Structure 1
């Protein structure tokens, strides 16, 4: 698949009340520091792009990871051929525009201006073509300062973040204008600046820095000499990643959907460090408000991404994974706690400290082994230290340490308890790789705390009060209260560290499988519970109509694979195949819910390959059902993993035979086996094998 075949508008048809991905059509390079996008509304809203809206208000430089987080340090580029009032709203034809990972092109109809844009890690270029002389308009909400102008450049300082520890957090943006421009005449009025370009074809170059105006100039000077050269380099950066996976299949739309999801999986986390003129790697630390050495990354919520995205990087991109780990360790060094939700710094969103899974999964896969002693210290600190700032550490930790669970008096108590118990196990995993047997034993024992919330009367996790009693009037369809963005049905199975134990508590494999069947075979009904109103996740689960299996949100991601874990591989194969066939596409309605920084796209990637990392930190993958005739994965150690599927048709929904390098497989395969290369071969059939 070529870069030019990707339309970045996948998952962009959204509102605040219903999500088909809540994505943006982002142009840049993988894991870049900035992205460019079309903006179609002038409103002060996080939903500023609509794929069907012909309205056009500019090309936006953005750092928005999700509309629920909003943007920071953004600005709009607009080219005008005549003087016009603020809040200009033009028109373009979305169906004729190009939205590619490396390139944007559209024609603004009102003034007849053709826009082209390409964007690398820290800077890019916009090319405007019209029949009349052009004026460049920059629009920058909130605080902005015109730092300096020279003959052909101007530099701005922007402070328009939605949240940050440092109230003076700044991004500098330096622009290089054509020789005909008059930057010295530019005047900044109410966050808007017009510069006469005095030509009908102009290329405007830009670069940004979170370090200084001088560093922005350094980043600008590193850009290639021509628009075409920069675009070619940006396209090559994407193509190098796409070429790691080659697919042959007689369903072309499936192949397109795979690569569109691969594009989405390579956007986040975003780079938050720069290289100085002398080659040093530095970043801005918003906690100390100083520039520090080393890498840093931002725009990532670990509650979403640990399940699928980082395991995908571990197999395909271990070098990038190592870089991410270095950045997350720097976050710990500078704040005292490992990160939970970064944008640009700690937001403290969502329960749990799920970066623990990113660390442990790396540890068992020998990625960043030299970092693990310090990571273990950081993980233990988060597990034992009650933070006086709710953004950091484990909320409700004092109760968890005393009671062994987070009590129902604290919101999301079930999810927090299960996440903390899983993180305790993850600490034991990292300790085990370091031969720290005492720590390993302590936290392995503590990881059994999940049992304290299991209610055998209902076979689900039930919020428990401080006095030890379960909460009264239990309704498994109630959303909120002890659960995060769901009910007991979506959130009771997050016992990744001890699924055999959970199966045993439920009454054994047959009883557990029956419980999963009840989960998917009941209506997609919900009760608003303590949310006291309908939230978008409720609507999306109902629209999907897979019972209580809300693949529209991260807590349900592993549920289809639990059938196989419990001995019902056919249940996994049928459920996953139907989700792949019905819940995803390569267009604006491409996702059944929030895509969230590569998490849902990575679910699709794993599932279509016939594998799934149910338990990050275990080094094992549960087998599902492959979706393509043949896949060749070029692994980073010069090995090749080949996945072949015979009899690959929509109505063939079960795996009859599966081998790896000629040997029969059960229900799982190790990371080490996959990373060593070989051939994973399957044959599909109409009915499951008799049990």
Structure 2
């Protein structure tokens, strides 16, 4: 895929009330420390809208989601008029939004601003169509001067939506051949630093969370716009070249690669390399510089289902690097992280990094480090924190009652997530030959059964006294459930689908419940949320009943049909669900969430899906493309070919791997060994 065809605005037409992705058009390199974007309005969270013709500036951002907020952000502006704070008009149709490159046609200032970015910094240049001299404006909240000289200007920022360190700082170093400081203008919120800049000049910049000296060192490694841009192109081409698609469906191919781009944005790097070559990071918890790697802007409840299993196949070495950084966070806080931005935000119910560790362990990605990860998992499973951001909220109840009661919000999801994490601990214990731990946590992983109401056939919250709550309504959102009702969340028993089926009494009854889920209307009650939230509207907007592909709890539900013996139901639903995605600014059926929904699309388009993170196996769906070739990190190739691949053929009639007929699942190791997965489609199921 040619990088120039990727439009980063995919999924960006979103607001507080409805999400088509809640994404931002980000320019940089995969898993970078900074990204560049475009700000079109004055909003604090939804500051880019692809339909707006206004332009505030090029924004350096670390915002993973509008629901989380940004930190250490500021604007680059090129002005030929003295309206330093006004919104300009820009030609959105003549502007370019690419992973490697931004080009903004500013009508008001009569300039074309061009920007690129790599891991630590970037470059800007511009074409001045006016007959007026240009000014560079750096504008930001709590932006202050550090040191100005003729060659390098250093500033610092201290703005963030939340952080453990009230003095958390990012330093910014800039240079250009003909750059001269003119004045500083302070406003109630923002500060503008105005520089004179020549029309043919290139502004080079670098950032650091370590120090002003480190920012200057990072800047010393950047020399020109061309060099920085080439770094970005090379980085993205390495990703795009991992997967080659041969097919006539150009729109679906573009959608696939735009989703691949989104999958490789988060987590973001939060460490640097010192002049002495040492890997260091700033700990906002310990409030000092520490050795080792660190990553941020990632919510594990969102990504454990799809993103990290995909990394285990496409970039396993990077996966282990991520784990190294996450363990460093544990060493500084005492708990494995749940949602980092820049440090622990405590969002979402479970401690799902447990599952990511187990997934890496079963795939052989961690060996020597596994005992220390295991110790961290045990800490979270047994020790309550006085700060609800850390560990498992309601843990003492969970240990004594076997579930989290309705005293705690999201009690059902907490119980199911904790049970899944317990299973993950048992998996790691087995690898480490710790039989006693394995048995104990395997038994505790069955706690999900304590909330299953056989009369209703769904999970239902319980009181501390052990009774199911009164006046239960299966369409109520909240009231024990996360971003959904009992319909979306009752099937989150990834570790023990066979056990869940037994609770229904038979596969037939289990399948009947799934059919009831998808065949009913997408009705909802606001429940304990007290208002309509965007996830409710997004579920109702899709024609899949209570199967809310708009959010993570429903991601695996279509594949449950295949695991229960009805693969053709899975094939039919997946084929339709893939049509809910496209390459436009309305490209997603809900929040994209740090690559999680993009990864769902990638897996489903390939015709595979992780059975459960930690199980090292994949369930088959239905492939979208004629031929896909995946270049694996071990040097092997995986070929996925599909015959009779017409839009009218909705079912798989035959499937074999390396000339051997397949069952409904395939192991991770089999895929790593490479070979050819051949699928035949048919008009009717056979």
Same-fold call, TM cutoff 0.5: yes
Q: What is the deviation of 1:2?
A: 1.3
Asked whether the 8 Å contact 2:354–2:421 carries over to 1, the reply is: yes
Q: What is the deviation of 1:154?
A: 1.2
Q: Equivalent residue of 1:511, what SS?
A: helix
- 2:202 and 2:163 mapped to 1: Cα distance? 33
- 1:232 and 1:196 mapped to 2: Cα distance? 27
- 1:151 and 1:382 mapped to 2: Cα distance? 52
CA offset digits 1:99-153 (Å, max 9, x no partner) = 0000000210011011000000000001122133111111112x22210100032
The residue number in structure 2 matching 1:532 is: 530
Does 1:630 find its partner at 2:632?
no
Match 1:237 to one of 228, 235, 238: 235
Does 1:12 find its partner at 2:12?
yes
CA offset digits 1:485-542 (Å, max 9, x no partner) = 0000000001111100000101211110110000000001111111111000000000
The residue number in structure 2 matching 1:60 is: 59
Q: Equivalent residue of 2:52, what SS?
A: coil
- 2:290 and 2:387 mapped to 1: Cα distance? 23
- 1:148 and 1:307 mapped to 2: Cα distance? 46
Q: Equivalent residue of 1:684, what SS?
A: strand
Does 1:373 find its partner at 2:371?
yes
Does 1:595 find its partner at 2:592?
yes
The residue number in structure 1 matching 2:672 is: 675
Q: What is the deviation of 1:157?
A: 1.1
CA offset digits 1:337-388 (Å, max 9, x no partner) = 0000000000000000001111000000011222110000000000000100
- 1:295 and 1:61 mapped to 2: Cα distance? 22
Q: Equivalent residue of 2:25, what SS?
A: coil
The residue number in structure 1 matching 2:337 is: 339
Q: What is the deviation of 1:198?
A: 4.5
Does 1:386 find its partner at 2:384?
yes
Q: Equivalent residue of 2:570, what SS?
A: helix
Q: Equivalent residue of 2:546, what SS?
A: coil
Asked whether the 8 Å contact 1:12–1:49 carries over to 2, the reply is: yes
How many pairs align? 682
- 1:207 and 1:533 mapped to 2: Cα distance? 43
The residue number in structure 1 matching 2:307 is: 309
The residue number in structure 2 matching 1:651 is: 648
Asked whether the 8 Å contact 1:307–1:614 carries over to 2, the reply is: no
Q: Equivalent residue of 2:177, what SS?
A: coil
Over 3 Å counting, the alpha-carbon distance change for 1:198 and 1:309 in structure 2 is: closer
- 1:284 and 1:298 mapped to 2: Cα distance? 12
Does 1:606 find its partner at 2:603?
yes
Which range moves more in the overlay, 330-339 or 363-372? 363-372
Q: What is the deviation of 1:627?
A: 0.6
Q: Equivalent residue of 2:201, what SS?
A: strand
The residue number in structure 1 matching 2:155 is: 156
Q: What is the deviation of 1:622?
A: 0.6
The residue number in structure 2 matching 1:173 is: 172
CA offset digits 1:460-499 (Å, max 9, x no partner) = 0010111011001111111001100000000000111110
1:243-258 mapped onto 2 (5 Å cutoff):
243-258=241-256
Match 2:572 to one of 553, 568, 574: 574
- 1:303 and 1:145 mapped to 2: Cα distance? 37
CA offset digits 1:209-268 (Å, max 9, x no partner) = 000000001111111x32122211211100011001000011111111100000000000
- 1:288 and 1:263 mapped to 2: Cα distance? 34
The residue number in structure 1 matching 2:685 is: 688
- 2:238 and 2:107 mapped to 1: Cα distance? 35
Q: Equivalent residue of 2:377, what SS?
A: helix
The residue number in structure 2 matching 1:137 is: 137
Asked whether the 8 Å contact 2:92–2:105 carries over to 1, the reply is: no
- 1:226 and 1:73 mapped to 2: Cα distance? 24
Asked whether the 8 Å contact 1:79–1:134 carries over to 2, the reply is: yes
The residue number in structure 1 matching 2:413 is: 415
The residue number in structure 2 matching 1:208 is: 207
Structure-1-length-normalised TM-score: 0.98
- 2:80 and 2:151 mapped to 1: Cα distance? 20
- 2:280 and 2:14 mapped to 1: Cα distance? 37
Asked whether the 8 Å contact 1:42–1:87 carries over to 2, the reply is: no
- 1:192 and 1:104 mapped to 2: Cα distance? 24
The residue number in structure 2 matching 1:463 is: 461
Q: Equivalent residue of 2:280, what SS?
A: strand
- 1:554 and 1:398 mapped to 2: Cα distance? 27
Q: What is the deviation of 1:188?
A: 4.9
The residue number in structure 2 matching 1:39 is: 39
Q: Equivalent residue of 1:79, what SS?
A: strand
- 1:369 and 1:22 mapped to 2: Cα distance? 37
Asked whether the 8 Å contact 2:458–2:486 carries over to 1, the reply is: yes
- 2:245 and 2:293 mapped to 1: Cα distance? 34
Q: Equivalent residue of 1:148, what SS?
A: strand
- 1:106 and 1:415 mapped to 2: Cα distance? 44
- 1:32 and 1:621 mapped to 2: Cα distance? 29
Q: What is the deviation of 1:195?
A: 2.8
Q: What is the deviation of 1:201?
A: 2.9
Asked whether the 8 Å contact 2:558–2:570 carries over to 1, the reply is: yes
The residue number in structure 2 matching 1:25 is: 25
Q: What is the deviation of 1:83?
A: 1.7
Structure 2: gaps spanning 5 or more residues: none
The residue number in structure 1 matching 2:470 is: 472
Q: Equivalent residue of 1:60, what SS?
A: strand
Over 3 Å counting, the alpha-carbon distance change for 1:358 and 1:198 in structure 2 is: closer
- 2:89 and 2:183 mapped to 1: Cα distance? 26
1:479-498 mapped onto 2 (5 Å cutoff):
479-498=477-496
1:72-87 mapped onto 2 (5 Å cutoff):
72-84=71-83, 86-87=84-85
Which range moves more in the overlay, 185-194 or 71-80? 185-194
Q: Which runs of 4+ in 1 moved over 4 A?
A: none
Q: What is the deviation of 1:649?
A: 1.4
Q: What is the deviation of 1:408?
A: 1.2
Asked whether the 8 Å contact 1:152–1:182 carries over to 2, the reply is: no
- 1:504 and 1:198 mapped to 2: Cα distance? 71
Q: Equivalent residue of 1:683, what SS?
A: strand
Structure-2-length-normalised TM-score: 0.98
- 1:178 and 1:106 mapped to 2: Cα distance? 23
Over 3 Å counting, the alpha-carbon distance change for 1:536 and 1:178 in structure 2 is: same
Q: Equivalent residue of 1:186, what SS?
A: strand
Asked whether the 8 Å contact 1:551–1:557 carries over to 2, the reply is: yes
Superposed CA RMSD in Å reads 0.9
The residue number in structure 1 matching 2:108 is: 110
- 1:441 and 1:537 mapped to 2: Cα distance? 38
The residue number in structure 1 matching 2:422 is: 424
